[in-house]
């Protein structure tokens, strides 16, 4: 069985440990790898994953060029790990940079309004979305609340819809089943819309606390149960759902096992989600 994990994260080796420690402390959740390329590769081996796609986030405009240079370099060196590019809403020459990475063969970009401190319906993001669409770049977009920034509404479904209406024709993957802990609203606004996909990352079952005592009850760690998860898949259609874990913030092997146990999804639907949809969207099947 072939599996593509379209939503993973790594960090440069020299900062990986500190980045994982900081993000784990902010989100109060456990990491399942050390945040390095080697850590991801080991996780993939345990989970029998065919391909993982890294989704980098530029939290400052000055990080954009180096992140994208690293993505281009990684994509030329690895057969089973590739990276999307990154852009920041305050990066001045965004159009030129997006054209550069597109020409290099990078398949898409990751946008994270919460980490980047700008509402997704801000004109700066709308221009980036429109440019990505013109270049044929897929956009992976954090959607909904963020576990590390409670109450931050930069990526709410209503804002996303407003941005996409303004940006025009661009293929977007809305992470976390369309909007983390905004699932019903996301389903109502996005299901059935052309060019909108969702991924399964950090949404099915429960997340694992890091043990610092921040979460006072088990209920706080519950995300989507099996019935709710399947309901969203059926609403969007299995052909619009892409498998992702958000590694290292979920165990790839455990997440795959949990997904494969969903008896309400057919084997055909599971194969679409686990591999075929991502391969088709990113042109990998060719």
> What is the model's pLDDT at position 92?
96
Q: Could you tell me the two tokens for 222?
A: 């519950």
Contact 281, 241 (CB under 8 A): no
Position 285 scores a pLDDT of 67
Domains of the chain (ranges, CATH numbers): 4-281 (3.20.20.140)
CA triple 27-81-58, angle to 5 deg: 45
Neighbours of 48 (CB within 10 A): 12
Measure the CA–CA gap between 251 and 57, rounded to whole angstroms: 21
Q: What is the pLDDT of residue 110?
A: 98
Contact 47, 247 (CB under 8 A): no
DSSP for 79-131, written as a single string: SSEEE-EE--TT-TTHHHHHHHHHHHT--EEEE-HHHHTS-TTSHHHHHHHHH
User: Rounded CA gap, 246 and 39, in Å?
Assistant: 14
pLDDT tens, the chain, 286 aa long: 999 999 999 999 999 999 999 999 999 999 999 999 999 999 999 999 999 999 999 999 999 999 999 999 999 999 899 999 999 999 999 999 999 999 999 999 999 999 999 999 999 999 999 999 999 999 999 999 999 999 999 999 999 999 999 999 999 999 999 999 999 999 999 999 999 999 999 999 999 999 999 999 999 999 999 999 999 999 999 999 999 999 999 999 999 999 999 999 999 999 999 999 999 999 986 5
Three-state secondary structure string covering 57-81: CCCCHHHHHHHHHHHHHHHHHCCCE
- CB–CB of 153/113 below 8 Å? no
Tokens of 226: 């099996």
As to burial, measured by CB atoms within 10 angstroms (0-12 exposed, 13-18 middle, 19+ buried), residue 212 is: exposed
Angle at 105 (CA atoms; ends 103, 111), nearest 5 degrees:
95
């Amino acid at each position: 069985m072939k599996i593509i994990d379209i939503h993973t994260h790594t960090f440069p080796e020299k900062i990986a440990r500190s980045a994982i420690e900081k993000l784990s402390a902010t989100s109060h959740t456990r990491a399942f790898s050390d945040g390095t390329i080697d850590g991801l590769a080991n996780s993939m081996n345990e989970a029998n994953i065919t391909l993982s796609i890294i989704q980098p986030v530029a939290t400052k405009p000055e990080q954009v060029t180096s992140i994208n240079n690293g993505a281009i370099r990684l994509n030329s060196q690895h057969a089973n790990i590739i990276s999307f590019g990154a852009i920041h809403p305050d990066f001045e020459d965004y159009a030129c940079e997006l054209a550069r990475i597109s020409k290099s063969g990078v398949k898409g970009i990751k946008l994270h309004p919460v980490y980047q401190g700008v509402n997704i319906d801000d004109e700066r993001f709308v221009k980036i979305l429109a440019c990505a669409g013109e270049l044929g770049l897929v956009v992976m977009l954090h959607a909904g609340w963020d576990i590390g920034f409670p109450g931050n509404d930069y990526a709410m479904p209503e804002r996303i819809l407003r941005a996409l209406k303004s940006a025009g024709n661009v293929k977007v993957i809305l992470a976390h089943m369309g909007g983390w802990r905004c699932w019903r609203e996301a389903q109502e606004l996005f299901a059935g819309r052309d060019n909108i996909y969702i991924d399964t990352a950090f949404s099915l079952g429960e997340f694992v606390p890091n043990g610092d005592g921040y979460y006072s009850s088990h209920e706080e760690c519950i995300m989507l149960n099996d019935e709710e998860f399947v309901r969203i898949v059926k609403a969007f259609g299995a052909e619009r759902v892409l498998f992702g874990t958000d590694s290292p913030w979920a165990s790839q092997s455990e997440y795959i096992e949990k997904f494969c146990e969903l008896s309400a999804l057919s084997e055909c639907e599971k194969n679409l989600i686990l591999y075929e949809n991502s391969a088709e969207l990113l042109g990998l099947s060719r």
